[in-house]
Structure 1
Amino acid sequence: MIEEIRIRDLGVIAEATLTLGPGLSVVSGETGAGKTMVVTAVGLLLGARSDAGAVRTGAKSAAAEATLRLPPGHRSLERAADAGADVEEYDGGAELLLARTVGADGRSRAHVGGRQAPVGVLAELGEQLVVVHGQSDQIRLKSAGAQRDALDRFAADSQPEFPSELEQYRQLFRRWQDARLELEELKNTGRERVREAQSLRLAVAEIDAVDPQPGEDDALKVVSIRLSNLEQLRLAAQQSHEALIAEDFGGTSDATTLVDTAKRQLDNVAEHDEELKSAAAQLAEVGYLLADIATGLASYSASLDSEGPGRLAEVEDRRGALAVLLRKYGNSVDEVIGWADTARLRLTELQDDSGRIEALEREVQDAAGELAKRAAGLSAARTAAAAELSNRVSTELKALAMPDANLVIDVAPASQPGLHGADDVAFLLQPHAGAAPRPLGKGASGGELSRVMLAIEVVLAAVDPVPTFVFDEVDAGVGGKAAVEIGRRLAMLARHVQVLVVTHLPQVAAFADQHIRVIKTSGAGFTSSDVTLLDEDGRVRELARMLAGQEDSATAQAHARELLEDARTTRSLRGA
């Protein structure tokens, strides 16, 4: 709900703060005092189009701010967070700040949670937070989708199984739609899929003919380098082998002989010194190691003798075959193998087109039959709910000075099924018997339209997720008992949601939980307005002014107190 609204330099209001609470709040004041600026401020905070003409004369800009208190997890908090808003959380709820400034040049800026945001974000949040009824372009239930959703909420309240049936229909619709789209794609792209299959078949055959092995390209590169340097490798191995074991190597003894000589010299005296004995043991290990190395070099030389130009040519031919695959299918042999595996899976899928088409045709046909049955069930439930909602709203209209008006809710077959069923839902207003029902907002005055929306909202209040409602012109053109009924119904609505009403009727204002007065002050060359939250005595004086234009009249004040008492009694007796 809205905890506070702050207004600066908007219309005739220089600066004002409205502290609101739960229940019904009314705003009253003399004609021209600036009551509608309160609604204008709310509209700006909901993303309405800005108007430079609304900026107070002489001011550089106008501003509207609001502090909202919301329950934890409210859907608007996530959208605000996505826009970068800072949301202050506390036990049992969260606080969100909205702000809008309009310059004298017409430029507008919006802030959500202290962060600048597009005006469109305010509009998105506004749809979830506040409903304004006043002018025809402010009708919440203007669109067919909004009217269908409202009827569905009402149906869910009176028919507990309806939400489950609607969700089952939606799941089935999505499966039917997915299968139908896949079937259409298979049929429409048949030639392209045949060409794709042929291309994949040739590519896989080419790869299979070469039969590349994981890591083979790197392994062959190593072999190629060795075979390309065969003579240098053989010579180095032989000379190293001779240096280790030959009896004469360049006029000197080989390494094995020298190590053995050194070992034997130490063995002769090892019994006299442990350190020399240890050195002799180490030389023995070196001798064994040199012998192993010499044996390995001999084996390496022998293996080189078995390889030659023929083997090198064979390796290069294999590398050339792999290079052809690398140019077409990947940067390495492993990537080529992975591509081939994926291609085989896709080829299997393409080759099964005929079987898949038959299966999809059966699935689409079966789902369509089941979908029609479920859609018929939804239509029956909506038709029953529409009759009940229409009767209840029409009853409310009769008490709101529209005795001959009826709300007609038309549930008609749609041209094709959709995600929400196979119905077109339309809310129509029949102003009197014999008149053709017309869409909401057409053929009704602003006051009549507000009363129609009040009647609808009163009936839907218990199932509506929006926490705050604002009404302007709801009491235009009525008085007497009808005004009392409007006030009582606003109070009934306020049992479920926060309601803010701009009114000029004392019968309506008497039902308020809190009463706000806009007071105009005129001076030399200027006019301004102030906003005041009235206490009990202030309410009596304001109601006296609204009743007789004489707020100091004892008679008028007595009548005002009687009006307040009657309103309280009516609310108590009728549960409003």
Structure 2
Amino acid sequence: MLTRLQIKDFAVVSAATVTFGPGLTVVSGETGAGKSLLVDALMLLSGGRGDSGMVRHGAERAELAAEFELDDTPAAAAWLREAELDEDGLCQLRRVIRADGGSRAWINGRPATVGQLAELGALLVEIHGQHEHQALLSRAHQLALLDGFGGHGHLVAEVRAAAEAWAALARRQAELARDGDPGERIDWLQHQFDELERENLAPEAIEELIALHRRQANAAGLLQGCERVLARLSGDDGFGISPLLRQAHSELQQLAADEPALGEAAALLDSAQIQIDEAAALVERLRDGFDLDPERLQSLEAQLARLHELGRKHRVPLEGLAARRDALAEELESLRAAGIDGETLALRMAEAQQAWQACASTLSAARAEAATRLGAQVAELMQELGMGGGRFEVALEPNADARPDAQGAERAEFMVSANPGQPPRPLRKVASGGELARISLALEVATLDAEAVPTMVFDEVDTGIGGAVAEVVGQKLRALGARRQALCVTHLPQVAAQGHGHYRVSKDVAEGSTHSGVRRLDAEDRVEEIARMLGGVEITETTRAHARQMLERAQAG
């Protein structure tokens, strides 16, 4: 429930604070005083579009704030919790519009986007104004009203879910048509994968293969080189390193008899001789292991050629082939997990359409029953609101498109006949502004139990009516106020008298500047205001008596 509204430097209002309680609160004032500015402020705080023209002339910015209690608004409380903007069961909305056109918003003191204001505002306030009546002309809005009246929320959700399931399959079918049957893709990928899987692509295996090929390709050269090295180390002609070292070692041992220090040199040559003999033995052993095997060389060359060909085919170096194989395996697994080919997909789409048809048929039956009840209730209320002999019907027309639709198998069209003897025609084609306002009010009363929003705002919905009809409109608004909070901007005394609370907006000019003020009226002030609305400029005692009588009768009712 709305409890407080604060306005500063907004249009012609320099500063105003308005408190609200339960029931119907009416706002009146002379033409041009700015009665609708309270409604405009609530619209902006609910995410409406703002511009610099709303800032009071000479001010830097307009500031708007509203406070709500959430005891009767569980949906808004849940939204705040989910958005992590909740604050001890209260909701404070604030918005600043700068003279340069910029805008900022806060929810419970924390920065918020205008989109968040709109989402939360839709759960807190429902505004019916001169422009908002136009929503009634939308067939989508009419269908939503019918479903709200009938309490079809769960059925609509089931139909929407079934339609979305079918739509997902339809998108998959379109992808198949564009990309081809995934079976062909799977076959191609499997062939690519099998080619790679047959090879040992581990990095160490590829390194070993390259080393083996290099050794086998150079086996002849290695044999010849080893023979030359062995000849130089231990040649039989006496000119190898090993025989020469033995000769030098022998001479040093003989000389050491006369000079013991030469024995150390002999020992070093002895160590060198051992190492040279070990080197010669290693070279000889390796030489004996070299095998001139043309078939082995050909096999290694073929294996390397396959790897290089795979590298060119997949456009990766040899060391990247393993990663490419793993990527193919992952794509194969993904496609197989999808597991839908054209034939299977068509079968699943048919099943999804049957499921939607079952849900949509149930919803269609419920809508037909609700349409009859809503038409009868609105038609009855139209009689009370001065549209005697008028008729109201809800026509349900099947969708031309046979595909599953998230809104169901039909569309709604509100049909109205404002005059006796004339057949009903679409509301969007026949209703005048005044008729539209009264039909809107009738619908609001008829669908009261379906409404979830705790605060309803009406901006001059009584336009174009008067007399006894105006009194009935006021009574209906008061009845709404008895069920949930209502705020009504009005110029009719019959409506103003029905309010549980009453504010007057007045306009003054001081120092060449226009100021609008908002003041709560007490009992005597209300008599004066109702008298002004009844009698115009000159207020007589008779007019005051009439005003007092209207208030007493309204409050007694």
TM normalised by structure 1 equals: 0.72
Relative to structure 1, is the Cα distance of residues 207 and 413 closer, same or farther in structure 2, using a 3 angstrom cutoff? same
Q: Does 1:177 align with 2:167?
A: yes
Structure 2 CA distance for partners of 1:144 and 1:80, relative to 1, 3 Å: farther
Partner of 2:4: 4
For 1:341, the equivalent position in structure 2 comes to 329
Task: Give the superposition deviation at 1:493.
Answer: 1.7
Matching residue of 2:41:
41
- Contact persistence 1:224–1:316 (CA under 8 A): no
**C-alpha distance after superposition, 1:160-213 (max 9, x if no partner):** xx54444443343334334444445445654x75764564354234224xx234
Which residue of the other structure, out of 372, 377, 381, is the alignment partner of 1:387? 372
Question: Structure 2 vs 1, CA of residues 518 and 299 (structure 1 numbering), >3 Å: closer, same or farther?
Answer: farther
Secondary structure in structure 2 of the residue aligned to 1:465: coil
Letter in 2 for 1:494: G
Matched, 1:400 2:398: no
* Aligned-pair CA distance for 1:547: 3.6
Q: Give the direction of change, closer, same or farther, for the CA distance of 1:387–1:34 in structure 2 (3 Å limit).
A: same
Alpha-carbon distance change, 400 to 102 in structure 1, aligned in 2, over 3 angstroms = farther
Tell me if the contact between 1:166 and 1:378 (Cα under 8 Å) persists in the aligned partners.
Answer: yes
1:389, distance to aligned residue in structure 2 (A): 0.8
Question: Do the aligned residues in 2 keep the contact of 1:24 with 1:500 (CA within 8 Å)?
Answer: yes
What amino acid maps onto 1:429 in structure 2?
V
* Bigger relative contact order (CA 8 A; separation at least 6): 2
Shift of 1:531: 0.6
State the 1:344 CA deviation.
4.9
Distance 1:561 1:333, change over 3 A: same
Q: How far off is 1:111 after superposition?
A: 1.6
Q: Deviations over 1:453-497 (max 9, x none)?
A: 111112212212223222122222333432222122112222343
Q: Contact between 1:88 and 1:96, CA under 8 Å: does it hold in 2?
A: no
- Aligned: 1:491 with 2:481: no
Q: What residue is the counterpart of 1:22 in the other structure? A: 22
Q: What SS class does the counterpart of residue 447 from structure 2 fall into?
A: helix
Once residues 425 and 46 of structure 2 are traced to their aligned partners in structure 1, the CA distance between those partners, rounded to angstroms, is: 28
Equivalent residue in structure 1 for 2:196, among 202, 207, 217: 207
C-alpha distance in 2 between matches for 1:102 and 1:4: 22
Equivalence map 1:429-468=2 (5 Å):
429-435=416-422, 437-440=424-427, 443-468=430-455
Contact 1:27–1:501 under 8 Å retained in 2 = yes
Q: 1:372/1:434 Cα in 2 relative to 1: closer, same or farther (>3 Å)? A: farther
Residues 176 and 364 in structure 1, CA contact (< 8 A), matched pair in contact too: yes
Query: How many angstroms does 1:249 deviate by?
Result: 8.2
1:559 positional shift: 4.1
- The structural deviation recorded for 1:60 is 5.2
Contact 1:544–1:550 (Cα < 8 Å) also in 2:
no
**CA–CA distance in 2 between the matches of 1:348 and 1:172?**
25
1:132 aligned partner: 127
Aligned counterparts of 1:317 and 1:34: Cα–Cα separation in 2: 93
The separation in 2 between residues aligned to 1:473 and 1:442, in whole angstroms, is 22
Q: Give the stretch that moved more between structures: 307-316 or 180-189.
A: 307-316
Alpha carbons 2:210, 2:304 under 8 Å: kept:
no
- What residue number does 1:148 align with? 143
Query: Quick one: which amino acid aligns to residue 221 of structure 1?
Result: E
* Deviation of the 1:225 alpha carbon: 6.3
**CA–CA distance in structure 2, aligned partners of residues 152 and 537 of structure 1:** 45
Contact 2:77/2:86 (CA < 8 Å) preserved in 1?
A: no
Q: In 2, are the aligned partners of 1:131 and 1:140 still within 8 Å (CA)? A: no
Instruction: Return the letter of the residue paired with 1:339.
Output: A
CA gap 1:365/1:477 in 2 versus in 1, 3 angstroms: closer
Structure 1 contact 133–450 (Cα < 8 Å) conserved: no
Residues 213 and 300 in structure 2, CA contact (< 8 A), matched pair in contact too: no
Partner of 2:248: none
In the alignment, the residues of structure 2 paired with residue 327 and residue 53 of structure 1 have an alpha-carbon distance, to the nearest angstrom, of 68
Given candidates 112, 116, 119, the residue that maps to 2:106 is 112
Contact 1:518 1:532 in 2 (8 A): yes
Partners of 1:6 and 1:16 within 8 A in 2 = yes
Distance 2:158 2:82 in 1: 32
Structure 2, unpaired ranges of 5+ = 230-265, 273-280
Equivalent position amino acid for 1:4 in 2: R
Structure 1 unpaired stretches of 5+: 157-161, 236-247, 255-297, 571-576
1:361–1:11 Cα change, 3 Å:
closer
The one-character-per-residue Cα deviations of 1:77-107 (angstroms, maximum 9, x if unpaired) are: 758987xxx83510xx23131314263x6x2
Alpha-carbon distance in 1 for matches of 2:544, 2:201: 99
Structure showing greater Rg? 2
For 2:429 and 2:408, how far apart are their aligned partners in 1?
27
Structure 2 equivalent of residue 409 of structure 1: 394
Distance (Å, rounded) in 1 between the aligned partners of 2:283 and 2:543 = 122
Taking the aligned partners of 1:561 and 1:62, their CA distance within structure 2 comes to: 38
Residue of structure 2 equivalent to 1:520: 507
Alignment of 1:58-97 (within 5 A): 58-59=58-59, 61-70=61-70, 74=75, 78=79, 87=85, 89-90=87-88, 93-97=89-93
Question: 1:414 Cα shift?
Answer: 0.7
**What code does the residue aligned with 1:111 have?**
A
Quote how far apart the aligned CAs of 1:555 are: 5.3
Letter in 1 for 2:385: L
Structure-1 residue corresponding to 2:94: 98
Q: 1:213 to 1:569 in 2, by over 3 A?
A: farther
SS at match of 1:33: coil
Query: Which whole-Å deviations, capped at 9, do the CAs of 1:362-403 have from their partners, x for residues lacking one?
Result: 443444445434423322210110110111112122212222
**Contact 2:396/2:411, CA 8 A, preserved across alignment:** yes
Deviations 1:252-279 (A, max 9, x none): 789xxxxxxxxxxxxxxxxxxxxxxxxx
Instruction: Work out the percentage of aligned pairs sharing the same amino acid.
Output: 35
Distance 2:5 2:96 in 1: 12
Give the alignment partner of residue 481 of structure 1, picking from 454, 463, 468.
468
- SS across alignment from 2:409: strand
Q: Distance in 1 between matches of 2:334 and 2:33?
A: 74
> In the TM superposition, what is the alpha-carbon distance from 1:26 to its structure 2 partner?
0.8
Select which of 341, 345, 358 maps to 1:360: 345
CA distance in 2, matches of 1:482, 1:500: 19
Distance 2:366 2:201 in 1: 64
AA at the equivalent of 1:174: E
Structure 1's 5 and 303: CA in aligned 2 closer, same or farther, altered over 3 A?
farther
* Equivalent residues, number: 504
Aligned residue in 1 for 2:260: none
Q: CA RMSD in A?
A: 4.6
Report the CA distance shift for 1:53/1:385 in structure 2 as closer, same or farther (over 3 A).
Answer: same
TM-score normalised by structure 2 residue count: 0.74
Paired amino acid for 1:112 = W
Change (3 A) 1:382 1:546: same
* CA distance in structure 1 between the partners assigned to 2:507 and 2:335 by the alignment: 81
**Partner secondary structure for residue 74 of structure 1:** helix
Q: Is the 8 A contact 1:472 1:501 kept in 2?
A: yes
Partner of residue 221 from structure 1, selected from 207, 226, 231:
207
Q: 1:136, 1:440 → 2: CA distance?
A: 16
Mapped pair 1:545 → 2:532: yes
